[in-house]
Structure 1
């Protein structure tokens, strides 16, 4: 495994790969190379016999904003938070990757780390990447955790998505802008247009209904990029898969950053097949709504979905 040094030689012939001067996380910050592309990632110490959890970021962003939640789970899971190729500090591929391309890179990143299977946690664009990963490599995903899944009809056309992002920016913690602004600038306008086209063409609903693993969907009650929880439940009822929908009251889109304590609490309970309860020590209130649940799963207690 590559050591966490201040500068690693790049096998692609570029300038040495440097770690951030001020580490942003308690997770170790490292570099590796996947498909000839330098990839920056964060990794937790390996707890004995801990299951692997891979966190995948959203559209135009790096994995940095996922760290508040990932850090809270690092003692229970072998945690990875990469910047996917073209995002954050990672190198850019010669041709921008679409959703299937990102899913394949996620699988090869796990190969590179010697990981056979993992639970995948995604936010926003990371959720379609998870759906494609599950479609391409069903034997390699243990569970799916979809936080604020985006990219469907509710976010089209691009002008509507930009308007939704503008509204969401006003609802996120002020500190989020300090992460998002440089990430978006680095990602660039051409990459934004190409990735949006990929998301609009991606069969998210078909892939969602094809899942065959325990799935947790988490949405915020103040997220302008998401349809209402009731609409989400209506869609999810078309699958016989084990699906649990959790609404975090007061949260917007970047739940992994704004409500990490509540989200980590819900994820731990989901992973342990426990009934979902609110964490009284964290901002926001988690309310669970059962869609489909296996016989081994304790029932959710809340069934009255809000309309908005």
Structure 2
């Protein structure tokens, strides 16, 4: 396991506590994720001929599936999984070509990602989870609901791609991806170069979080370590090259749309367009002073909102 979690036994907890800069932002005064025995929850499944790495908390609770975005990996949900494990069977895969999952056999596509997630649910005997997707993961979650209508019980779109994706800044996204990849490749217990150096941290994360400097070093390390994986370029092309706007009215399940008002990667106007296209089953929640990763930047509010939505 790479990043800070791969080194957690080597770094004392007080080092994490000293790195917390803001109790009201991101992990703030919550270090619960660091004490979870993540390796015991990690499994590898052969799905459509390729290995998929997935966090599976097990248990008999209702299933809850988290899908990360472009350049991410399951660790994007570090501040959320602990809030639901025990009451839910939580799953958080690395998408094909990201994190610990192998590249798909063919060209990366949103439809292909959805097929993999459907097959993963079959393998794990998961019938109809609540699906929560951020950015590209939201795009995939919505496609899953469209292509396999009985698969998804409820849908949560967190700053989801799929509306104005063609207007995303491809060159800046690629540049940041390259910078994050360098940091991830070089990261070590004594270095964590991107996460521990404010200027590099801001350069690497300013497109996705409102206040990179307020993230703890361990959390920032986990957010950048997913970059540089082979699926990044193909994933970006998949996001930019596929549209499902005309099919969104077919989504009939309850849908919660969560957005950061200050998202500079995908504009907040897209939240309302998703709501308009999906129709009366959808509603929008906007987080002020928040960027592209609401679940990371405002985890307490996000987790409470998700909990209430699932219970409805």
With normalisation by structure 1, the TM-score equals 0.72
Q: Give 1:132's match in structure 2, choosing from 119, 128, 143.
A: 143
Q: Give 2:85's match in structure 1, choosing from 59, 69, 74.
A: 74
| Residues matched between the structures, number | 250
Alignment match, 2:19: none
- The question of 1:40 aligning with 2:80 is answered no
* Greater helix fraction, Structure 1 or Structure 2: 2
Distance 1:170-1:115 versus aligned 2 partners, 3 A rule: closer
Q: Which has the higher contact order (CA 8 A, sep 6+)?
A: 2
* Greater strand fraction, Structure 1 or Structure 2: 1
Distance 1:79-1:235 versus aligned 2 partners, 3 A rule: closer
Verify the 8 A CA contact 1:130 1:144 in the aligned structure 2.
yes
Cα deviation for residue 163 of structure 1 reads 8.0
- The question of 1:203 aligning with 2:215 is answered no
- The question of 1:255 aligning with 2:294 is answered yes
- For 1:218 and 1:240, the matched residues in 2 are separated by 15
Alignment match, 1:223: 263
**What is the root-mean-square deviation in Å for CA atoms of aligned residues?**
2.7
- The question of 1:182 aligning with 2:225 is answered yes
- For 1:171 and 1:96, the matched residues in 2 are separated by 35
Matches within 5 A, 1:296-307: none
Verify the 8 A CA contact 1:222 1:251 in the aligned structure 2.
yes
Moved more, 132-141 or 28-37: 28-37
Distance 1:208-1:26 versus aligned 2 partners, 3 A rule: farther
Alignment match, 1:237: 276
Residue 141 of structure 1 aligns to a residue whose secondary structure is coil
Alignment match, 1:288: none
Q: Give 1:194's match in structure 2, choosing from 234, 238, 251.
A: 234
Provide, for residues 54-102 of structure 1, a one-character-per-residue CA deviation record: whole Å limited to 9, x for no partner. Answer: 1111002111121211221113321101112211011223334211001
With normalisation by structure 2, the TM-score equals 0.72
Distance 1:152-1:200 versus aligned 2 partners, 3 A rule: farther
Provide, for residues 185-211 of structure 1, a one-character-per-residue CA deviation record: whole Å limited to 9, x for no partner. Answer: 2x14xx433222211222242343321
For structure 2, the 5+ residue unaligned runs are: 10-33, 177-204
Matches within 5 A, 1:1-308: 25-26=36-37, 28-47=41-60, 50-153=61-164, 155-159=167-171, 161=173, 166-168=206-208, 171-172=211-212, 173=215, 175=217, 176-185=219-228, 187-188=229-230, 191-229=231-269, 232-234=271-273, 236-273=275-312
